[in-house]
Amino acid sequence: MRLLEPYQLGDLTLENRLVMAPMTRNRAPGCLPNERMARYYVQRATAGLIVSEGTQIATVAQGYQDTPGIHTEEQRDGWRRVTDAVHRAGGHIFAQLWHVGRVSHSYYHGLRPVAPSAVPPPGKAYIPENPLPYETPHALTVAEIGEVIEQFRHAARVARDAGFDGVEIHGANGYLIDQFLRSGTNQRQDEYGGSVENRCRFLLEVTRAVVEIWSDRRVGVRLSPGGTTNGAVDENPVATFSTAISGLDAIAGLGYLHIVEAPVGTSGPDERAVCATELARSLYRGTLITTGGYTPEAAEHLLEKECADLVGFGRLFIANPDLVERVRRHAPLNEADRSTFYSRGDHGYLDYPALVARVENL
Ligand SMILES: Cc1cc2nc3c(=O)[nH]c(=O)nc-3n(C[C@H](O)[C@H](O)[C@H](O)COP(=O)(O)O)c2cc1C
């Protein structure tokens, strides 16, 4: 099977082509990575590559309860225990660098959320037991944008010092970078807004800054051209993402582009929606990962057609810590329990059964 063949990502040899997609699990009290998280990732270390849950690059970049950070020494030391454990288990792990922008709330940190423009997201902030309306964010000045880029650079260094194999820049799902990309959330008149090129500037500056910190091919970027999560709307997403992806293609040393698959809407009523992965494949010449609703069979088909190089699995990796072995054996898959995705305990986190444990239990 193509899925089970090794893949060369720069100087990193991935054992197979299954990527564990980044998934927030809210199990980091105090925003500190811990032993339970190490166990969770070790259980899944046979993935060709693990992309960690979103990790905030600064205090104000946090948007949800108990998500881990990647900007303090204590967080670095916590992550070091996770990365050491994953490496001892033979795995590879990248940190997902995350700034939620306006999808934050002062409830978490006492600070005013920031965004390209002073436009609040729709709905309420995801605060357990007490959802609060989102606040109107502070529109970053050009000088402050420079500071956020420095925060990305700093977090990239912390990730390197914490023993990660690389980093993925979270440019998807309506968070800060996506807020800059989209015409609906970016209403700036300066060099970071207006034209498509200007809206792409922040993404490309962040990416270049992070690539400078890491060695060759150890930085990926995640985009969701077809997504509308968190009020991510754009008047012409095909044009916006074509420019963004071409811009990334021109950055030497970038390791991969990671697409969250969903059909990309178009501006005209007569035009057909575009497949996000196909759009990326046509414009990006490097390693392409695609994630979003794939079964192992669908993923295999995609790889055979060379539509992507690696395939990400989210919920299947939550429910099947030994997903790779199950694919190898064509074994049945466990189903993920949504009610424990963001809950606190070990249940639904550390207790999904693996085939070997099942055999041992017989
Ligand atoms: C519980 C959960 C948490 C997620 N957290 C993140 C995240 O932190 N960063 C991110 O880029 N995507 C996140 N996602 C999206 C997944 O990476 C993935 O794109 C999505 O689940 C679709 O893939 P799947 O159909 O294989 O599950 C999350 C998804 C789930 C189910």
**One of 7, 175, 192, 284 is an active-site residue; which one?**
175
Owner of token pair 């035009």:
271
- Kindly tell me if the per-residue pLDDT of 1 is higher than 90: yes
C-alpha of residue 22 to centroid of ligand 1, in Å: 6
Q: What is the 8-class DSSP label of residue 31?
A: G
Q: What is the pLDDT of residues 80-95, one digit of tens each?
A: 999 999 999 999 999 9
Ligand 1 midpoint to CA 267 (Å): 27
Instruction: Give the ligand 1 atom nearest the CA of 168.
Output: 11
Alpha-carbon Rg for the chain, nearest whole angstrom, is 19
Atom 18 of ligand 1, nearest CA residue: 314
Nearest Cα neighbor of 274 from 287, 288, 291, 261 is 261
What number does the ligand 1 atom closest to the CA of 312 have?
26
- Give the torsion through C-alpha atoms of 16, 8, 289, 197, to 10 deg: 170
Dump pLDDT digits (tens) for 160-180. Answer: 999 999 999 999 999 999 999
The rounded percent of the chain whose pLDDT value lies above 90 is: 92
pLDDT tens digit string along 45-100? 999 999 999 999 999 999 999 999 999 999 999 999 999 999 999 999 999 999 99
Count of CA atoms in the C-beta half-sphere (13 A) of 187: 10
Q: Tell me if residue 134 is catalytic.
A: no
153 CA distance to ligand 1 middle (Å): 24
Centre of ligand 1 to C-alpha 270, Å, is 31
Q: What separation, in Å, do the N-terminal and C-terminal C-alpha atoms of the chain show?
A: 29
Q: Which of 19, 23, 302 is the pocket-test mutation for ligand 1 (most atoms within 8 Å of CB)?
A: 23
Flag whether pLDDT at 361 surpasses 80: no
CA dist., res. 49 & res. 3, Å (int):
12
- pTM greater than 0.85 (yes/no): yes
**Ligand 1 within 6 A of CB of 20:** no
Helices (DSSP H) in 117-175: which residue ranges? 142-161
The closest-lying atom of ligand 1 relative to the alpha carbon of residue 313 is: 26
- Asked whether the beta carbons of 210 and 169 are under 8 A apart, the reply is yes
Q: How far is 114 from 56, CA to CA, in rounded Å?
A: 14
* Residue 292 Cβ < 6 Å to ligand 1: yes
Which stretch of DSSP H or E encloses residue 8?
A: strand 7-9
Nearest atom (ligand 1) to Cα of 293: 25
**Residue linked to tokens 């539509």:** 307
pLDDT band at residue 39 under the 50/70/90 scheme: very high
Question: Quick check: 251 pLDDT over 70?
Answer: yes
